């Protein structure tokens, strides 16, 4: 599918409040007419998301330690996770330390998933992922570990107000760029 047709299809799925604010852009090369160069997403005429550019407005993590030390990341811990730690330590750890251990375990798991998603995103092709988005259900895109699929789903008109509002807890565990687009969409409700 040509870039212009793909762009037209993607923009036809934008929610009405974001129409004109969110744009899909691509640079092209004169001697490669069938291939788009760099693809990116602009919000209010600003380049917000370029998959290969780590100098974006959005924070890209380089190491697991950066994620662990980021005060903006809030990881909710459930009682089941605390109980699992209590079971693993055979009840010998004080109660206040159980929460710390459970949180550290969850952050480590989250960091590995986040870095894995970032690395696969920087290697992926925007056009291929966008075509995949157009061919799968909106639920699959939302539940996917692919950051770009999440973004495309969040700005989609098929995701309603109730679903957006029910995603708050789930979005805390997503990459900061996904959280940015989630907040952008929530601001339009």
How would residue 112 be classed by pLDDT, with cut points 50, 70 and 90? confident
What is the Cα–Cα distance from 39 to 175, expressed in whole angstroms? 19
| pLDDT one-digit tens code per residue, 59-103 | 667 777 887 788 777 778 889 998 999 999 888 888 889 888 998
First to last CA, the chain: 33
Question: Is 159's pLDDT higher than 80?
Answer: yes
Comparing 2 with 161, which gets the higher pLDDT? 161
φ, ψ (nearest 5 deg) of residue 42: -110, 140
Structural domain spans, the chain = 64-110
Q: C-alpha angle 113/124/178, rounded to 5°?
A: 50
Question: Is 124's pLDDT higher than 80?
Answer: no
What is the Cα–Cα distance from 12 to 106, expressed in whole angstroms? 38
Over residues 157-182, mean pLDDT: 90
Q: Tell me the average pLDDT of the chain.
A: 83
């Amino acid at each position: 599918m040509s870039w212009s047709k793909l762009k037209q299809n993607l923009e036809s799925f934008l929610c009405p409040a974001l129409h004109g604010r969110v744009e899909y852009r691509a640079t092209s090369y004169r001697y490669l007419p069938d291939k788009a160069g760099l693809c990116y997403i602009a919000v209010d005429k600003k380049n917000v998301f370029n998959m290969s550019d780590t100098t974006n407005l959005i924070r890209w993590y380089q190491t697991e330690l950066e994620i662990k030390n980021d005060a903006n990341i809030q990881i909710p811990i459930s009682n089941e996770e605390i109980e699992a730690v209590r079971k693993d330590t055979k009840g010998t750890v004080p109660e206040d330390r159980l929460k710390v251990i459970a949180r550290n375990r969850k952050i480590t798991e989250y960091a590995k998933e986040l870095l894995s998603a970032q690395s696969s995103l920087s290697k992926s092709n925007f056009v291929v992922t966008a075509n995949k988005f157009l061919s799968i259900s909106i639920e699959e895109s939302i539940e996917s570990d692919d950051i770009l699929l999440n973004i495309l789903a969040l700005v989609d008109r098929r995701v309603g107000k109730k679903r957006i509002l029910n995603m708050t807890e789930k979005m805390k565990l997503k990459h900061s760029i996904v959280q940015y687009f989630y907040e952008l969409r929530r601001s339009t409700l």
